[in-house]
Amino acid sequence: MFILTRRPWKNDPKIRISTNTRLAIVEKFNLTDLLTDYINVRQIVIDDNGSYTVERVKKQLYEEVFRFWTSEWIDNDPPVLRGRTFSDVATEVGKLRQDHPGSKRGRDGKINRARRSGQPVYYKLTLNEKGKCLQLTCCDKNSSSVDEAYVDSKEKLADWEFLYRAVRYYDHRERTRVTEYNTAQIIQAARRRIVKWAKNGSDGKDICLLTAAEDRVRDFEPLLLAKDFLARTT
């Protein structure tokens, strides 16, 4: 015997919500704006006849919201955008064929390890915060400048090919960094709403629940890509 149970239109106060099946209809409706944000941030192309249907994306969002989390967790502050690391902006292009001339020596008389023969050399790409200036620097792992005359390249590529590779790598890492942050903002906003609904209940009389300003995502981090800068300047 199968018993068909309907999802409640609203929830009473002081309940524990640990899965999307515990969300009332009115509550799910009031997460729709975040679902739209989620689709936009992750640049998902909805195809009702393909892999990404609205229902599948909605399920994906719920899975992220309730992963190792329930409404009993009240600390759901907005995330912090992590800074770019060296590995985010630098791609290896070769190795030093000799100790780099002009390198400072330590008290032991030896030059810094990063400046010695055989150590990796990188192209480090810098794009300013407004996407208006791009700089490509040949450097060691400590970001100190390296003269390309002393570099043995792993591959015989033209300058434009090295630039293309550096841009593609930078954009991949930047897209990941910004998308993770903006997605985390959406997840935390959803959790803050659910915590309040679990505590106070949801009013089934009005399908549009009042959402406080702090429970919305007001400022998404813009995605500034190096390829877009090059497209504007070439």
- Domain boundaries, given as residue ranges, for the chain: 20-81+178-220, 86-170
Q: What is the pLDDT of residue 210?
A: 65
Instruction: Output the pLDDT for position 34.
Output: 96
C-alpha dihedral (101, 104, 107, 110), degrees to nearest 10: -30
Q: Averaged over 136-152, what is the pLDDT?
A: 93
pLDDT tens digits, 50-59: 778 999 999 9
In this model, does residue 225 exceed pLDDT 60?
yes
Minimum mean pLDDT range among 104-108, 122-126, 156-160, 181-185: 156-160
Q: What pLDDT sits at residue 61?
A: 98
pLDDT of 132 reads 75
- Distance CA(76)–CA(38), nearest Å, equals 18
Mean pLDDT taken over the chain:
86
Q: Is 123 a residue whose pLDDT tops 70?
A: yes
Q: Is 28's pLDDT higher than 60? A: yes
pTM of the model: 0.85
The whole-angstrom separation of Cα 183 and Cα 122 is: 31
HSE of 158 in the Cβ direction (CA atoms, 13 Å)?
Answer: 3
> What's the 3-state SS for 142-209?
CCCECCHHHEEECCCCCHHHHHHHHHHHHHHHHHHHHHHHHHHHHHHHHHHHHHHHHHHCCCCCCCCC
Distance in angstroms (rounded) separating the CA atoms of residues 35 and 32:
5
Whether the per-residue pLDDT at 207 is higher than 70: the answer is no
Residue 166 binned pLDDT confidence (cut-offs 50, 70, 90)? very high
Our measurement of the distance from residue 135's CA atom to the centroid of its chain's CA atoms, rounded to an integer in Å, reads: 23
Please determine, for residue 4, whether its predicted confidence score (pLDDT) is greater than 70: no
